[in-house]
Amino acid sequence: ILTAGHCLVGATGTVNSPQNITAGYGSNVSEQQTFQTATNVFLHPQYNPSRFENDIGIIQVPDIPLDGVKACALPVYRGWLYPGMPVRSIGWGMTNYTDYYSVSPELKEVVIKVGNPGPMQVPARFDNSNGPRICIENALVPDNGPCSGDSGSPLIAYDGNRPYFAGVMSNGGGAHGEATCAVTGGFAFYTHVLNYLNFIYTVTGRWL
């Protein structure tokens, strides 16, 4: 299972033990999910927590039945990501940034848009969304976007009606880096999965 690297690191900066990590599947309602305890975790060797660089990791779990309904494995998106392109974010995160207890018990989804490079250069040293990170510009879809608790969740791109795995939620904030969610002038960044196929192959032995 691909996730954000920072999801695998504890408060002391060390990688969490696999037995402290569980993965749920089989339902869009958290209380109705089936859970598997991880058997191993792999953090990208060049993960930089201060800059959220190489913010990606892998959770190994016992076999999960991929029936395409309760669980599925999406192919990696290999197309060009252009400014204004609609993409879909899903996650269990907070629905109100000022209310810690607003973490959703039900899987949520929202359509957001790939950002323009210009507004993203200052807060995050960003060039474009076809490198290691994908940028979402909140101003393009106001009041919609990921929030705390959505870290590691997938960003889905489409070719026609077919979904593809494009990124994993990394970090975000306001125009000057302040901690907030989905405000105009702010941004969100996803680790671009296509740029990490070598890392995935090294861990899993599989080319995606």
Q: pLDDT by residue (tens digit) across 150-188?
A: 999 999 999 999 999 999 999 988 766 666 788 888 889
Alpha carbon 124 to chain centroid, angstroms: 17
Give me the pLDDT at residue 177, please.
65
Give me the pLDDT at residue 120, please.
66
Q: Give the contacts of 16 (CB within 8 A, at least 6 positions apart).
A: 8, 9, 10, 41
Q: Which domain holds residue 113?
A: 86-194
**pLDDT means over runs of 10, the chain (208 residues):** 97 94 95 96 97 97 89 96 97 84 89 85 73 93 91 97 97 75 87 98 93
Give me the pLDDT at residue 3, please.
98
Please indicate, yes or no, whether residues 200 and 180 belong to a single structural domain of this protein. Answer: no
Classify residue 176 as exposed, middle or buried by CB count within 10 Å of its CB (0-12, 13-18, 19+).
exposed
Please indicate, yes or no, whether residues 20 and 99 belong to a single structural domain of this protein. Answer: no
Query: Domain containing 176 — which CATH number?
Result: 2.40.10.10
For the chain, what is the domain count? 2
pTM, full prediction = 0.93
- Cα distance between residue 29 and residue 45, in whole Å: 34
Give me the pLDDT at residue 127, please.
81
Please indicate, yes or no, whether residues 55 and 126 belong to a single structural domain of this protein. Answer: no
Please indicate, yes or no, whether residues 98 and 179 belong to a single structural domain of this protein. Answer: yes
Tell whether 77 is covered by a domain: no
Backbone angles phi, psi at 42, to 5 degrees: -135, 115
Please indicate, yes or no, whether residues 174 and 200 belong to a single structural domain of this protein. Answer: no
